[in-house]
Amino acid sequence: MAYHLLQHDRDGAALLGRALTQAVEQIRHCALCNTFTENEVCETCLDPERDPTLLCVVETPTDQLMIEQTLTFKGLYFVLMGRLSPLDGIGPKDIQLEKLVSRATDGVVTEVVLATNFTNEGEATAHYISETMKARGLQVSRLARGVPVGGELEYVDAGTIARAMLDRRAT
């Protein structure tokens, strides 16, 4: 892309270069939730309409967006910017678990909602955070595992059916 711009659109290349430099200079991590923002604290964290007693933990800003689109969560977020992955040498420090602990123990948060992925690493990360938070007296919840909306048992893997049976709910 850079070569194409240099050959055919040198003005565009200059513009893009400035924009990228500016982004690198201006975009930082929100002091409260870690997501990308141009300010000290992001818009979501500053929104007075949100419920500050609920803190949802996600792996990435994209996951935060996925949840936002469902309109089912009115609390605040903490973006790990990763997940625990011992095999890749990613430990608690790399995903800033200390920052999460101090964020969650601000005296306002009462429930930590774990929305890490349902991969092995995401589940291990959720488990680790859950133990850490419960030791500090916080309520911890996890997004439900089960059969996806629209799913047919015939095409769902056995692990998911097993979980859906064990986690079955009273109607």
Positions touching a second copy (CB under 8 A) are 58-60, 62-63, 66-67, 69-73, 113-115, 117-119, 122, 126, 130, 134, 139-154, 156-171
57 counts as binding Zn ion under rule CB under 5 A: no
Of residues 9, 27, 45, 93, which one binds Zn ion by CB under 5 A?
45
Q: What is the CA radius of gyration of the chain?
A: 20
For a second copy, give the closer residue by CB, 46 or 162. Answer: 162
Within 15-34, the residues that bind Zn ion by CB under 5 A are 30, 32-33
Smallest distance, a second copy to C-beta of residue 12, A:
30
For a second copy, give the closer residue by CB, 91 or 159. Answer: 159
Residues with Cβ within 8 Å of residue 52, at least 6 apart in sequence: 75, 76, 108, 109
For a second copy, give the closer residue by CB, 28 or 134. Answer: 134
Read off φ and ψ for residue 113, nearest 5 degrees: -100, 115
Residues with Cβ within 8 Å of residue 17, at least 6 apart in sequence: none
Smallest distance, a second copy to C-beta of residue 119, A:
6
Closest Cα to residue 85, out of 130, 119, 61?
A: 119
Asked if residue 58 lies in contact with residue 30, where contact means CB atoms within 8 angstroms, the answer is: no
For a second copy, give the closer residue by CB, 16 or 101. Answer: 101
For a second copy, give the closer residue by CB, 5 or 118. Answer: 118
Smallest distance, Zn ion to C-beta of residue 154, A:
20
Chain centroid to CA 128: 15
Closest Cα to residue 115, out of 55, 167, 51, 156?
A: 55
- Binding residues for Zn ion, rule: CB under 5 A, are 30, 32-33, 42, 45
